[in-house]
Structure 1
Amino acid sequence: MNYRFQNLLGAPYRGGDAVFAGDSSVLLSAVGNRVASTDLSASSSLTLPFESSSNITRLAVSPSGDFLLSVDDAGRALYANLGRRAVLHRITFKSAPSAVRFSPDGKLIAVAVGKLVQIWRSPAFRKEFFPFHLLRTFPGFAAGVTAFDWSPDSAFLLASCKDLTARLLPVKKGLGGKPFLFVGHRAAVVGAFFATDKKTGRVNGTYTISKDGAIFTWNLVEGSDDSPPPSPGTPEQEAVQNDEPELEGDLPELDGGSRKRKSLGELEEPDTTPLHFAKWELQKKDFFMQSPAKLTSCDYHRELDMVVVGFSNGVFGLYQMPDFVCLHLLSISREKITTAIFNSLGNWLVFGCAKLGQLLVWEWRSESYILKQQGHYFDVNCIAYSPDSQLLATGADDNKVKVWTVSSGFCFITFSEHTNAVTAVHFMANNHALLSASLDGTIRAWDLFRYRNFKTFTTASPRQFVSLTADQSGEVICAGTLDSFEIFVWSMKTGRLLDILSGHQGPVHGLMFSPINAILASSSWDKTVRLWDVFESKGAVETFQHSHDVLTLAYRPDGRQIACSTLDGLIHFWDPFDGLLMYTIEGRRDIAGGRLMTDRRSAANTSIGKYFTTLCYSADGTYILAGGNSKYICMYDIGEQVLLRRFRITRNLSLDGVLDFLNSKKMTDAGALDLIDDEDSDVEEGIDQQARGNLGLGLPGSMANGGRPIARTKCVKFAPTGRSFAAATTDGVLLYSVDDSFIFDPTDLDIDVTPEKVEEAIAENQQQRALLLSLRLNEDPLIKRCIFSVDPSNVRAICSSTPLKYLQRLIEAFADLLESCPHLEFILLWSQELCKVHGNNIQQNSRALLPALKSLQKSVTRIHQDLADTCSSNEYMLKYLCSAGTKN
C-alpha cells in the first residue's frame, strides 16, 4: 500500500512566477499550490512532492540552483532543497510578498512585503533553530514594490515600485545614506535593471520600464566630485543600521567556497563612489507604442543587453539595448502575458498566460518552440490508461481530449473537435485508437498514429452521452445517455447503429463490458444495475435492485464480481453469475471530510456529498479505489471489507471543501467573511478566477462559492500494471505510484540471510544460492546484481529451481531492468526461460501475477518501439547512402 505522489498532469499554469533553476535547463513554475519542474533538455516534467497551504504566487531560486523559495498568496513560504525535493525550512511573512529575489552570491534574499523591502539571510544547508535572519528593512515606499534586480556584487538592490519610481537601495553594511530615486515615469514602474560594462563588469547604467510602455535609460556619470558624503540617513534607517550584524562574516557560502571577510575598502575601490551617492543622468526615453495595451511583464538579460516585454493584449517584444532596436514583435494570444523571462544563456524566452493556462518556451534565434504546454482549462472529467500503461488520456469540460506520456508527463496530442464537455474516454484493446464521448451527441474515434478523428458515431436525434465502453474484441461500442436513458450500440468497423437498449428510467452513468464474456453491465439513477447480452440481442438478462440511485459501477479484472456505488454512501458487491449480493461496504464516514463555504451545518451533521461517484479495481482485484465529492480517495480491501488507506488529494486552502471547521475569526455580523463579495479587489488569481466547470451546478461557467473550485475527485483509474493509479481531481490529474524497493518479508529471514552471505555466494560462484538469498531479502540492488552474476548458459537451470512465490518479484525486477539497463538480450533471455519453465504456474496464478506481467509487457513494448524506430531510420539512411554512392 506504499503508493506515493508521483506527478501532476493536466493542471494549467495559474499565474505567478516562472524561473530557471540556476544555469540549467530546468524550468520551475507554479501550478496551484505545487511547483512543476520541467526539464527542457530531457523533455520531461514532474511535480515536486511538497504542497503549500494555498496557491503559490512567487518563486525564487538560488544562483547555484540548489534552493527554492516558494511563497503562496497568504504569505507562507517554503524553503526547499531542489536536489532532494524536500522542504528544509518554513516561514510566514506578515502579508503576501509582491517580489522575491536571491542575491547573485546566494547569501541574501530580498522580499517586498507591503510597503517595506526586507533583506533576509539565506539559510543555506545549515540546520538552525531560527534559519531566517532579518538583516535590514527599507521603509518609505509610497506603494507596493513590483520587482527587484541585484547589482552583480550583491551590494545594491534596485526596486521598482507602483509609486512611479525606482529606488537604488544600499544593502551592505557601512554604505549608509538614503536610497537614490529614479523619477519621471507617469505610470507604475514594472521593472528596473542594472546595466554593466562588458569589459569591466561594473555597473554603468540602469533601465526602468513602466506600465504605460515607456523605458528610460539612465547613465552613471563617472568622475563626479560633487557627490555628497555618506549620511546617516533617516532615523529609522539609522536604527536599523546600528542593530544589524556584520553581513560579511555571518553569511554562509552556498557554492562551497571559502568564507571571506571584506571591508568596505576591499568591496569598492578607494576612488569609487557608492552607486546611491553617484550622479545619474537620464540619457533617453523610448516607448514601445502598444497603447492602449498595458505592459504587464518584462525581463532583462545583462550579458546580451536585451529586453523582453509582454503586454496585456498578448503581444511580446524583444529589443536590443541601448539602441532600442526591435528584434521581434509578435502576438502569442489575445490575453495578458503574466510572465516573460530569459534563461541564463539568453537563447530561450519563457511566456506565461494565466487566463489561458498556457506556458511556452520560445527560442528567438531560430523562431521555434521548445515547449508549448497547456493544461485543461476546466475540470478533468474522465481518464483512461492505455493497455500498456504508457499513455494516459484525459477529457474535460473545455471540450478537449488530451493524451499524455506517463513517463515524461508531457501532453503530445490534443483533440479539440468536440463542441461540448467530454464525459468519457476509452482506449481500444489494440492500443492504436482512442474513443471519447461528449455532451455534444457524438462518440469520436481517434487514430493515435495519424492523430486524427477517423470515425464519428451519432444518433438520429441528438443525445448527451455520459458513459462509454467497448468489448474486448473492439467490434462493438456502447454509450449511455443522460437525457433519453438509453444505451446505444454501434459497430466499430462500419459505424452503423446496431441496437438501442431500453429499460433504464434514469441517466446511465456507469457502463462496462465483462473482461471474460460479452455481457454488458450498466448502472443508472433508477436504482438498478442491469446486465445485457449485446451480441445475442436478448435485452436485459439480469437486474440488481438497490434502495438508492446507483452512481457508477466497475467489473473486477477476472469478471467474477461487480462493484457499484449508491447515493447512500454504500458500495455493493454482486456476483454476476449467481445474481447474489456478496457483501457491502459502508463508506459514508470514510468519504466525509471538508466543509463548503455555503454549508450552514458542520461537516459531521450534513449528508451532502457523502457518496462515491467513481470506482476502480486494482489490477489483481484485491483492492478497490473509491472517490467522490471529497478531499479523500479511499482504498478498501475487498476480502476483509475494511478501509486500508485514505489519500488526501490536496491541502490547498484556495479550494473549497478542504477545511473541516470554519474559522471563527472570519465570522462577522454579515455572515462568513469568505461569502462576502469583494468586487473592488485587484488581486490577479489567473485561471482560478475564471469560470470553471462543475463547481456547483455542474455547468461550465458556473461561479459557485465566489468562484472557488471545490475539492473533489471525478474519476480514478488503476494502471494495468497495478503499480500506479491516476485520479482526476480539481487540481488536475494526480499520479500515485508504488515504491516497494525497501519492502521485505521479515518472516522469510533467518540469521544466515544477510547481504554479506549474498556477496559470499557470488564470490564462490554459487549463483542459484545467491539469487534465492537476495529474493528472500527483497533488496532491489542485490537481486539485480545476482541476476547479472548468472552465466547465460545457467539461466534455464536457475529458472527451473526458482520457487513459485518468488516469480512475481523476479518478473518485476526484469521489467525494471528493461527500462534502465543496456543488456536487453540477457534480460529477454531470462524472461523467455522463466515463461517456458513456469508457464503453467503463471497461467494458474495469472490473477496474482497480472500486475507484474503487465509491467514486463510495458517494458518490452517500449523497447520494441524504440528498436523499430531506430531500424527504420537506419534503413532510410542506408538507402540514401547507397543511392548517393550510385550517383557518384
Structure 2
Amino acid sequence: MNYRFHNLLGAPYRGGDAVFAGDSSVLLSAVGNRVASTDLSASSSLTLPFESSSNVTRLAVSPSGDFLLSVDDAGRALYANLGRRAVLHRITFKSAPSAVRFSPDGDLIAVAVGKLVQIWRSPAFRKEFFPFHLLRTFPGFAAGVTAFDWSPDSAFLLASCKDLTARLLPVKKGLGGKPFLFVGHRAAVVGAFFATDKKTGRVTGAYTISKDGAIFTWNLVEGSDDSPPPSPGTPEQEAVQDGEAELDGDEPESDGGSRKRKSLGESEEPDTTPLHFARWELQKKDFFMQSPAKLTACDYHRELDMVVVGFSNGVFGLYQMPDFVCLHLLSISREKITTAIFSSLGNWLVFGCAKLGQLLVWEWRSESYILKQQGHYFDVNCIAYSPDSQLLATGADDNKVKVWTVSSGFCFITFSEHTNAVTAVHFMANNHSLLSASLDGTIRAWDLFRYRNFKTFTTASPRQFVSLTADQSGEVICAGTLDSFEIFVWSMKTGRLLDILSGHQGPVHGLMFSPINAILASSSWDKTVRLWDVFESKGAVETFQHSHDVLTLAYRPDGRQIACSTLDGLIHFWDPFDGLLMYTIEGRRDIAGGRLMTDRRSAANTSIGKYFTTLCYSADGTYILAGGNSKYICMYDVGEQVLLRRFQITRNLSLDGVLDFLNSKKMTDAGALDLIDDEDSDVEEGIDQQTRGNLGLGLPGSMANRGRPIARTKCVKFAPTGRSFAAATTDGVLLYSVDDSFIFDPTDLDIDVTLEKVEEALEENQQQRALLLSLRLNEDSLIKKCIFSVDPSNVRAICSSTPLKYLQRLIEAFSDLLESCPHLEFILLWSQELCKIHGNYIQQNSRALLPALKSLQKSITRIHQDLADTCSSNEYMLKYLCSSGTRN
C-alpha cells in the first residue's frame, strides 16, 4: 500500500529554464509543475518528488550544485536540497519572476520581479525562522528584466531589459552611484554577459544580445584617470541604500561615498575603479542575419569565449567571440527554441523546445547527440507494460507510439506511422512485439528488435478502433470499434480477418481475453458486458446486463472475476463461470474531484465526471485501481469492497479541475478571469503556454477563452511484478512504486530482537539465527548483510529451516540483489534451493507470492539477456583464439 511517486514520463521538457547542477552532468528541466533531473553520464532520468502549485518557469542552481530554487508562474518559489530531494524553504514573490540567478559565491540570489531587481541572501544550510532576507532593491527599469549575469567576484550584476538597455548594477554596499546603461539596441535585450580575461579572471568587456538578432561588443577601458567620481545618487536611491543591510565582507564607504584609490604597488589589480564608474566603449556591432525570425534564447561561456543563440524558426548558432566566427549554424526544429545553455565545461549544448516537449543535448566538437528526447505533445491515451515490466508503451493523440525504459525513464523508440490518434496499445506475450490501435482504421504490429512495422491489420471499410487485445498464445488479435459497434478478429500469423463479432449496440470501449482460457470479454455503451468464445462458436456465450452504460472492464489475473465500471459511478464484479453478480462498489463520492472553471454548479452538486473510465487489477488480484475524469485515482480492496487509498495525480493549479472551491473574485460576467485571453498582455517568450489549446472553446476572433487542460486519468496499469503502477494523466505518465520506499512491518518483535543481537549472532557465526532476526526486524540492508554472511554449503540447510511466512520477503531481497550485486551464482543458488524445498508451498500460494516471483523473474531475465549478448560477442573471439593457437 505504500506506493509513492517515482517518476514522470511523457515529456522531458515543457518550457521555462533548463540548468546544470553545478559542475556535474545532471541536467534539471521544468516539466509542468515538477522538475526533471537527467543524469547524462548515467543515462537516466528521474523526476524530483516535490511539486509546485502551478507550472514551473524559472530554475536556478547554486554553484556547488547543492540547492535548487524553482519558481512557478504565480511567483511561488521552492528552495530545495538536491542531495536529499527535499524542500527546505518556501517564499512567495509579489509577481512571477522573469529571471533568477545565484551569485558565483553562492551567497546571493538575484530575482527580477516586474520592473524591480531584488538581491536576496541565500539561505544555504542556515536554520532561521525566515531564511530569505532582502538586501537590496534596484528600481528604475522602464520594462521587465529578461536575464542576469554576475561578475566573477559577485560584486556586480549585469541585467538585460526589455526597455532596449542593459544595466550594470553595483550589488555590494559601498560602491554607490547610479547603474551604468548600455544603450543602442533597437529591440528588447534578451541577454547580457561579462567577458573576462582567461589568466587573471578580471572583467574586460561585455556582450549584449537583442531580440532582433544583434550582438554588441563592449570594451572596458582600463587605466583611465578621467573617470567620473561616484555620484551620491538620487534621494530615492540614497534612502534605499541607507536602509540596506551590509553584506558580509563589504568595506565601509569613506570620503563622502567615494572609495579610496590604491596605488599599483598596494594592490595586485592594476585598476580598482568600480565597473559602473569605468569607461565602456562600444567596439563593434554584429548581426546573426536570421530575419524575420526572432532571437529567443542565448547563453555565453566565459572560458571558451563562445556564444550560443536560438531562434524562433528552430535554428541555433554557435559563435566564437570576439571575432564573431560562426562555428555551427543548424536547424534542429520547426518550432521556437525556448532555452539554449552551455554545460559547465562548455563541451555540451542544451536546447529545449517547449511546444514539442523536446530536449536535446549536443556535443558541438564531435557533432553528435548526447541526449535526444521528445515526449508526447498531446494527451497520452493508453499505456501498457511489457510482460517483464522493463518496458512501457504509450499511445497519444499526436498519432505516435513510444516505448520507454522504466528503469532509466528514457524513450528509446518512436513509431509514427499512424495518421490519427492512438487509442490502445498491447504487448504480446513474447515481449518482442507490440500492437497498437488507432482511429485511422488500422491495427499495427511493431517489432521491438528491428524497430519496424512488420504487419498491418485493416478492414474492408474504414473503422475507428478504440480497444485492443490478444490471447495468451498471441495467435488471435481482437479490436473493438467506435462507429460500427463490431469486434474484428484477425490471425496474427497470416494477417487475415477471421471473424466479425456483432451484437453490441454501442461503441466497444472495453476488450480483454481471459488469462486462463480463450473467452473474450467486451464492454459497450449499450449497457452490456458480453463473453465470446472466439475459437469454438460464434455469438455471445453470455451477456451481463447493467442499468447504465458500461465504460470499461478488467479481468482478474486468475481469470475468475470480471470488474466493469458504469456511468452511474459503480464498479460491478461478476463471476464469469456462473454468470452471477458478486458485489458492487459505489465510487461516486470517491472519484469526485475539483470544480471546473466553466461549471455552474458546485463540485458536490454536479454529476459530471463521477464515474470510472479505466480499471486495473493488481498482480495478485487483491486490489483494483480505478481512475477517470478527476484528479484522484482510487485503490479498492476487492474482497472487502472498501476504499484503501486515493492518489491525487496533481496539485498543479494551472490545470482545470484541481480546486475544490473557486475564488468568486476571479469570476466576471464574461466567465472565469483565468480563461479570458488578454490580447494586450506581454507573454514571456521563453515560457510555453501549454495550458492552452486542449479545449477549443470560443469563437474565432473573440476574446473568449481557448480552454485549459482538465486534470484526469485516461488509463491505469499495474506492472506484472506488482511493485509499481502507471497512470496516463494530463501531466504525463505518472509512475508510482514501492521499491524506493522503506516499509516497517513489525513481525514477531520482542525485546530480544535488536540490531545488537543480529551483530552478536554474526560474530558467533550463527548464520541461521542472524538471518531470522534480520527478517523479523525487516530492515533491508540488514537482511542482505545476513544473506551474504551464509556459507554456500549451508544455503540448503538454512532454506529448509526458514519459516514459510518469510519466503516472500526473501524472494524480494533476492530480486533486488540480482539488480545490483555482482554475486550472481550465489543469489541464484539461494533462489534454486528455496524453490526446490518450498516448491509445493509456492505453488499453493502463487497468488500471494506472484508479485515477488515476477520481480525475481524480471531480474533473472535481464541478467540472462546481458550474459547472452556477452557470450555471443565472445564466441567468435574464442574461435579465433583457438584457431590461431592450433596454427602456432
TM-score, normalization: structure 1? 0.96
TM-superposition CA deviations, 1:704-736 (whole Å, max 9, x none): 963311000000000000010000000000000
**Cα pair 2:441 2:463 within 8 Å, conserved:** yes
- How far is the alpha carbon of 1:670 from its aligned partner? 4.1
1:477-507 per-position Cα deviation (integer Å, ceiling 9, x unaligned): 1100000000111111111111111110000
Seen in structure 2, the aligned counterparts of structure 1 residues 697 and 156 have a Cα distance that, compared at 3 Å, is closer
Q: Which residue of structure 1 lines up, in the alignment, with residue 234 of structure 2?
A: 234
C-alpha deviation, 1:290, in angstroms: 1.0
Q: Do the aligned partners of 2:176 and 2:257 also contact (CA within 8 Å) in 1?
A: no
Q: In the TM superposition, what is the alpha-carbon distance from 1:675 to its structure 2 partner?
A: 3.7
SS of alignment partner, residue 878 of structure 1:
helix
Structure 1 residues 649, 167: CA separation in 2 closer, same or farther (over 3 Å shift)?
same
- Alpha-carbon contact 1:68-1:82 (below 8 Å) kept: yes
Specify whether residues 91 and 612 from structure 1 end up closer, same or farther in structure 2 by C-alpha distance, changes over 3 A only: same
Q: How far has the Cα of 1:765 moved from its partner?
A: 1.6
Q: CA deviation at 1:11?
A: 2.7
1:292-339 per-residue CA deviation (whole Å, 9 max, x = no partner) reads 111111110000000111111111111101111110111112211111
Q: For residues 340 and 630 of structure 1, do their structure 2 counterparts lie closer, same or farther at Cα, with a shift above 3 Å needed?
A: same
The 3 A distance-change label for structure 1 pair 477 and 685 is farther
Contact 1:12 1:376 in 2 (8 A): no
Counterparts of residues 26-105 of structure 1 (less than 5 Å): 26-105=26-105
Quote how far apart the aligned CAs of 1:273 are: 0.6
Q: Is the 8 A contact 1:248 1:261 kept in 2?
A: no
Higher deviation after alignment, 380-389 or 5-14: 5-14
Distance 1:413 1:224, change over 3 A: same
Does residue 738 (structure 1) correspond to residue 720 (structure 2)? The answer is no
Change over 3 Å in CA distance of 1:207–1:284 after alignment to 2: same
Q: For the residues of structure 1 that align with 2:561 and 2:865, how far apart are their CA atoms? A: 35
Contact 2:595/2:660 (8 A) holds in 1: yes
Could you list the per-position Cα deviations for residues 215-267 of structure 1 after superposition, in whole angstroms to 9, with x for gaps in the alignment? 11111111110111222212222112111122015999999999999999999
Aligned residues: 888
Counterparts in 2 of 1:421 and 1:586: CA distance versus 1, 3 Å: same
The secondary structure found in structure 1 opposite 2:245 is coil
Residue of structure 2 equivalent to 1:562: 562
Residues 101-160 of structure 1: CA deviation (Å, up to 9, x unaligned): 000000000011111111000000111111110000111111111110000000000001
Aligned to 1:853, the other structure's residue is in SS state helix
Give the 3-state SS of the residue equivalent to 1:862 in structure 2: helix
Please give the alpha-carbon distance, in whole angstroms, between the structure 2 residues aligned to 1:758 and 1:360. Answer: 50
Contact map agreement 1:693 1:701 (CA 8 A) in 2 = no
C-alpha deviation, 1:773, in angstroms: 1.6
% identical equivalent positions: 97
For residues 265 and 564 of structure 2, the distance between their equivalents in structure 1, rounded to whole angstroms, comes to: 78
Contact 1:149 1:158 in 2 (8 A): yes
Q: 1:688 offset after TM fit, Å?
A: 6.2
CA distance in 2, matches of 1:421, 1:804: 49
- Superposed CA offset, 1:842-877 (max 9, x none): 111100000000000110011111112222333355
CA contact (8 A) 2:296 2:686 kept: no
Q: How far 1:31 moved relative to its partner?
A: 0.5
In 2, Cα distance between equivalents of 1:545 and 1:257: 88
Aligned residue in 1 for 2:707: 707
Distance in 2 of aligned mates of 1:886 and 1:133: 79
Quote how far apart the aligned CAs of 1:699 are.
Answer: 16
Shift of 1:676: 2.7
Q: Which residue in 1 is equivalent to 2:496?
A: 496
Deviation of 1:886 (Å) = 10
| Contact map agreement 1:99 1:147 (CA 8 A) in 2 | yes
SS at match of 2:706: helix
Mark the CA change 1:524 to 1:153 in structure 2 (over 3 Å): closer, same or farther.
same
Deviation per residue, 1:375-396 (Å, 9 max, x gap) = 1010000000000000000000
Residues 14 and 685 in structure 1, CA contact (< 8 A), matched pair in contact too = no
Q: Corresponding residue for 1:474?
A: 474
TM-score (structure 2 length as normaliser): 0.96
Q: Structure 1's 295 and 653: CA in aligned 2 closer, same or farther, altered over 3 A? A: same
Q: Is the 8 A contact 2:698 2:704 kept in 1?
A: no
Structure 2 regions of 5+ residues with no counterpart?
none
RMSD after superposition: 3.8
Q: CA deviation at 1:538?
A: 3.5
- Paired residues of 2:400 and 2:415 also in contact (CA < 8 A): yes
State the 1:681 CA deviation: 2.9
Question: 1-side partners of 2:346 and 2:605: how far apart?
Answer: 58
Secondary structure at 2:768 match in 1: helix
Q: Structure 1: which 5+ residue stretches go unaligned?
A: none
Answer with 661-670 or 527-536: which moved more: 661-670
Give CA-to-partner distance per residue, 1:779-820, whole Å, 9 cap, x none. Answer: 111111111111111111111111211111110000000011
Distance 2:450 2:709 in 1: 36
Partners of 1:34 and 1:265 lie apart in 2 by 54
Preserved contact between residue 811 and residue 856 of structure 1 (Cα < 8 Å): yes
Post-superposition CA distance 1:411-438 (Å, at most 9, x none): 0000000000000000011101100000
**Higher mean C-alpha displacement, 869-878 vs 115-124:** 869-878
Paired residue secondary structure (2:249): helix
Q: Contact 2:383 / 2:715 at 8 angstroms: preserved in 1?
A: yes
Query: Equivalents in 2 of 1:694, 1:847: separation in Å?
Result: 42
Name which of structure 1's ranges 654-663 and 231-240 shifts more when overlaid on structure 2: 231-240
Q: Secondary structure at the match of 1:746?
A: coil
**Which residue of 1 is the match for residue 294 of structure 2?**
294
Larger mean Cα displacement after TM superposition, 667-676 or 244-253? 244-253
Q: Is the 8 A contact 2:6 2:737 kept in 1?
A: yes
- Contact 1:598–1:705 under 8 Å retained in 2: no
Over 3 Å counting, the alpha-carbon distance change for 1:841 and 1:76 in structure 2 is same
C-alpha spacing 1:98/1:684, structure 2 compared with 1 (3 Å): closer
The 8 Å contact of residues 177 and 230 in structure 2, kept in 1 or not, is answered as yes
8 Å CA contact 1:692–1:703 kept in 2: the answer is no
Q: Post-superposition shift, 1:742?
A: 3.7
Deviations 1:195-221 (A, max 9, x none): 011121100100111111111111111
User: Structure 1 pair 686/157, CA: closer, same or farther in 2 (3 Å)?
Assistant: closer
User: Is the 1:64–1:254 contact (alpha carbons within 8 Å) kept by the matching residues of 2?
Assistant: no
2:10 touches 2:376 (CA, 8 Å); kept in 1? Answer: yes
Report what 1:215 is aligned to: 215
Q: Structure 1 CA distance, aligned partners of 2:107 and 2:261?
A: 13
Indicate the SS of the match to 1:806. helix
Q: CA–CA distance in 2 between the matches of 1:815 and 1:255?
A: 74
Measured after TM superposition, the shift of residue 268 of structure 1 is 8.7
What are the Cα deviations for residues 629-652 of structure 1, in whole angstroms up to 9, with x where unaligned?
Answer: 000000001111111100000000
